[in-house]
Amino acid sequence: MDGEQQPGPNHPAPTPSVPPVVSKPKDPIPEEAATAQQLEDVEKQMTGFERATLRWARAAVIMSGLAAIFVCLQWWEMHAGSKDTHNLAVAAANQATWTQNLAADMKTQADRTKDLADRMKEQADETKTIADQAVIQANANTKSAQNAVDTLSNTKQSFRDEQRAWIGVQGTSDTKGFTEKLPWQVTVVFFNSGRTPAQNVQSSGGYITSGVPISGPSAQQIATLDFRPAQSIAPQGYYREMIGTEVSAEAVTSIEISGEQTLISQYTQIKNKKLFLYYFGLLKYDDTFGKPHETQFCILLANPDTKKAGMCDAFNDLN
């Protein structure tokens, strides 16, 4: 091959070279391993006390490291907690501020409400005062009106009293009879002292005999009276009613007839004052204003010997 020398006699073949044997150095021991080995060798050379002390030193170092880690963790937790506490404090401060503002607003609203209540109370007091004054004025007006009504009514009543008929008993007259055959007879005189006539006149009469003196008839005895029409009585006029005998042109009832007979039969006892004889009755009438009135009368045989009449202690009123 071109460029290559071939072995021949002039060119002997080259002797192969044998690489020198180089002893391979041992791998170097790492520094950390050497240190550990040295420490182990040193530890083997130590006494038991020194080895225990070394162990305690190692433990102290480990504990110091753990303590440092714990302190770091605690610091981190406290730092994070302080941050949370700060945030909580800020939130609490904000809440307190909001609460304070709310309280201030509520106080302002309460003050306004109180002012409104005070104004309403003042208005109510003024209204009550006005109402009280109105009531007082109304009462005064009512009283004035009532006084006016009363005055007018009194004036009318006074006018009517002045103008109406007033019938009263003026006395008795024409006493007679009182014998064994005739009862005691007496005339009752009524007089109209008013300025107008008495109308719709009705008269009644009855008698009572009693073993003891009495002041007048009882309610039951008054209820037994029978009324009969009588003449009207003119102003300043008289009306005379005969008691104890029948009146001409007037019907005589069976009761009246029996009454006369009873009186005749009691003549001796009345004469000897063992019985007391009373005549009583009512005169009813209307005045010109249509108001009804009545006049009472009660007389007694005061002296059977003289046939004198007297007035009873009661039942002699008029209205």
Coil/strand/helix, residue 205: coil
Length of the chain: 319
Give the residue from 316, 284, 286, 20 showing the smallest Cα distance to 169.
316
Among 24-38, 129-143, 153-167, which is the least confidently predicted range? 24-38
> Rounded to an integer, what distance in angstroms lies between the CA atom of residue 159 and that of residue 164?
8
Reduced to 3 states, what is the DSSP secondary structure of residue 147? helix
Does pTM top 0.75 for this prediction?
no
Cβ-count burial of 263 within 10 angstroms (0-12 exposed, 13-18 middle, 19+ buried)? buried
- State the average pLDDT over residues 15-28: 54
DSSP string, 76-141: HHHHHHHHHHHHHHHHHHHHHHHHHHHHHHHHHHHHHHHHHHHHHHHHHHHHHHHHHHHHHHHHHH
**Predicted confidence band at 30 (pLDDT cuts at 50, 70, 90)?**
low
| pLDDT tens, position by position, 203-224 | 999 999 999 999 999 999 999 9
Residue 15 has pLDDT above 70, yes or no: no
* Structure tokens belonging to residue 107: 């106080």
pLDDT tens, residue by residue, 66-82: 878 877 787 777 777 66
pLDDT(302) > 50? yes
